[in-house]
Chain A
């Protein structure tokens, strides 16, 4: 169990304490805390409006939380300057949006989309950039001869795979994903999920993934956090939480999925 070993030997990659974000009087998320160890996948589930996206956007630095601490590799991320934060976002961190249009440049070719992060961190050799892009398109099962096509010519599933390639090309140490399989039809979802699982396993990615699909969680997540009304109501190893839910809300969530 590498996971267990990691948990014992390594320091957490991401450590979150007391994270709270309010929208006026309404609570986005409140008092959220967890540790994510290197190579671990943390799933966040909960019904619509439970605060999953709010939490993820605070973690990824898209919004500033009102309270709490976020330590990445021991560094206090909320104390970073904007320049440092943006450097993190295009280097060590990656963010996969639910809607690929939000995470892709639709006017730029697939190759340019994948190459952008490389160029952002200083790659200046065209042939090498192109080779990496080709390699990454292959890894997300996009044919090499589509490299010069724009994402607008791609299906929804291909766009999402392209977004994933674009994010992973720089070997980020931490990947945030907000409903990466949402908005796709079921057969496409299954294929994408398979692909994600392969990448997570092969690359040993550390991931925080938001979803309301328990099948996604079952397949990808080592650990699971269940949210309701902005708070974490249950947290534990995925299989444990799903097979033996303690909190009434989790029980409801699990049983409602089983009925589908």
Chain B
């Protein structure tokens, strides 16, 4: 049941129009951070207020919404955002990636390849990739304007100097359509290749920082690197202990007080679907597939 005390999807129509204008601008200038008048939402910053506002501006009554946090549909954050839109927009929700028309995500891109017509909304804490080395906003804006991106490589250089390799594992910087350098939000770099050439619309909302950026379908997205330290989309070198997948991003879970570990897909829908299809992992109740 839609809560009648609210406008559809909580935000008033004028605010949604304002956000949609920002979204269109962001799609027209891939990777460029568009300022928008971020609104107070009935949840604290850091809980995805930017993503929630973008989702609210995108939703129609016919949409089917999926919300994931670190790949999981059942975490507190994901559940509360899903409930929020059930209540304020009355839209259908789903945990199945293929069935969803809008997916709001924190820190992951689903394993299941997305399709044309789907919208992926990212929650973004800090949208400015240059912030780490250049705290002055006026200066970072100028650097984007003039494509002065040498500093991004200084960050990667520091990584290699200190760790022997590019140790940046999350929020790995990318260049979009050969122009703007963008922070893809704290997704694991394993997900970076999925940013590129993706048929879905990818929208990024930063609530506290009041910025929106976007990657249109089928965009060219390149992870920054050095010739002699090329980008590598790494993950834990294991198979999922529940579904046996060797190609999905894994969470390491400690299962008892003695430090016994297991590796499971961080994408719960992907893992469950595989198990439903009969795939088995090392710790599956029925044992591993022969």
Task: Mark A residues whose CB is within 8 Å of B.
Answer: 82-83, 86, 90, 105, 107-109, 111-112, 115-117, 119-121, 123-127, 129-130, 147-148
Name the CB-closest residue of B to A111: B161
| Residue in contact with A120 in the complex, picked from B133, B148, B227, CB distance below 8 Å | B148
Q: B133 near A108 (CB under 8 angstroms)? A: yes
Q: B229 near A126 (CB under 8 angstroms)? A: yes
- In the bound complex, residues from chain A placing their C-beta under 8 Å from that of B227 are 124-126
Q: A125 near B161 (CB under 8 angstroms)? A: no
Q: B161 near A147 (CB under 8 angstroms)? A: yes
Identify whether the interface residues of A are mostly helix, strand, loop, or mixed. helix
- Any A CB within 8 A of the CB of B158: yes
Q: A112 near B157 (CB under 8 angstroms)? A: yes
Q: A125 near B158 (CB under 8 angstroms)? A: no
- In the bound complex, residues from chain A placing their C-beta under 8 Å from that of B229 are 126
- In the bound complex, residues from chain B placing their C-beta under 8 Å from that of A108 are 133, 154, 158
Q: In the complex, what distance in Å separates the CA atom of A130 from the CA atom of B154?
A: 11
| Residues B136-164 near A (CB distance < 8 A) | 142, 146, 148, 150-151, 153-154, 157-158, 160-162
Taking the closest CB of chain B, its distance from the CB of A7, in whole angstroms, is 36
Q: In the complex, what distance in Å separates the CA atom of A119 from the CA atom of B156?
A: 11
| Residue in contact with B133 in the complex, picked from A107, A129, A148, CB distance below 8 Å | A107
Q: A112 near B228 (CB under 8 angstroms)? A: no
Q: B157 near A129 (CB under 8 angstroms)? A: yes
- In the bound complex, residues from chain B placing their C-beta under 8 Å from that of A148 are 161-162
- In the bound complex, residues from chain B placing their C-beta under 8 Å from that of A121 are 150
| Residue in contact with A119 in the complex, picked from B153, B160, B228, CB distance below 8 Å | B153
Q: B161 near A109 (CB under 8 angstroms)? A: yes
- In the bound complex, residues from chain B placing their C-beta under 8 Å from that of A120 are 148, 150-151
Name the CB-closest residue of B to A84: B146
Name the CB-closest residue of B to A126: B226
Q: In the complex, what distance in Å separates the CA atom of A116 from the CA atom of B158?
A: 11
Q: A119 near B157 (CB under 8 angstroms)? A: yes
Taking the closest CB of chain A, its distance from the CB of B173, in whole angstroms, is 13
Produce 1/0 per residue, B241-285, CB < 8 A to A. Answer: 000000000000000000000000000000000000000000000
Q: A124 near B158 (CB under 8 angstroms)? A: no
Given contacts A105-B133, A111-B161, contact A86 B154 (CB under 8 A): no
Q: In the complex, what distance in Å separates the CA atom of A85 from the CA atom of B226?
A: 27
Name the CB-closest residue of B to A120: B150
Give the one of B154, B162, B227 with max A CB within 10 A: B154
| Residues B101-157 near A (CB distance < 8 A) | 133, 142, 146, 148, 150-151, 153-154, 157
Taking the closest CB of chain A, its distance from the CB of B252, in whole angstroms, is 29
Given contacts A105-B133, A107-B133, A125-B226, contact A112 B158 (CB under 8 A): yes
Q: B160 near A116 (CB under 8 angstroms)? A: no
Q: In the complex, what distance in Å separates the CA atom of A127 from the CA atom of B148?
A: 22
Q: B161 near A112 (CB under 8 angstroms)? A: yes
Q: B148 near A116 (CB under 8 angstroms)? A: no
| Residues B13-51 near A (CB distance < 8 A) | none
Taking the closest CB of chain A, its distance from the CB of B148, in whole angstroms, is 7
10 pairs of A and B residues whose beta carbons are closest in the complex: A120-B150, A119-B153, A119-B150, A126-B226, A125-B227, A83-B146, A112-B158, A148-B161, A116-B154, A112-B154
Given contacts A108-B158, A112-B154, contact A127 B228 (CB under 8 A): yes
- In the bound complex, residues from chain A placing their C-beta under 8 Å from that of B133 are 105, 107-108
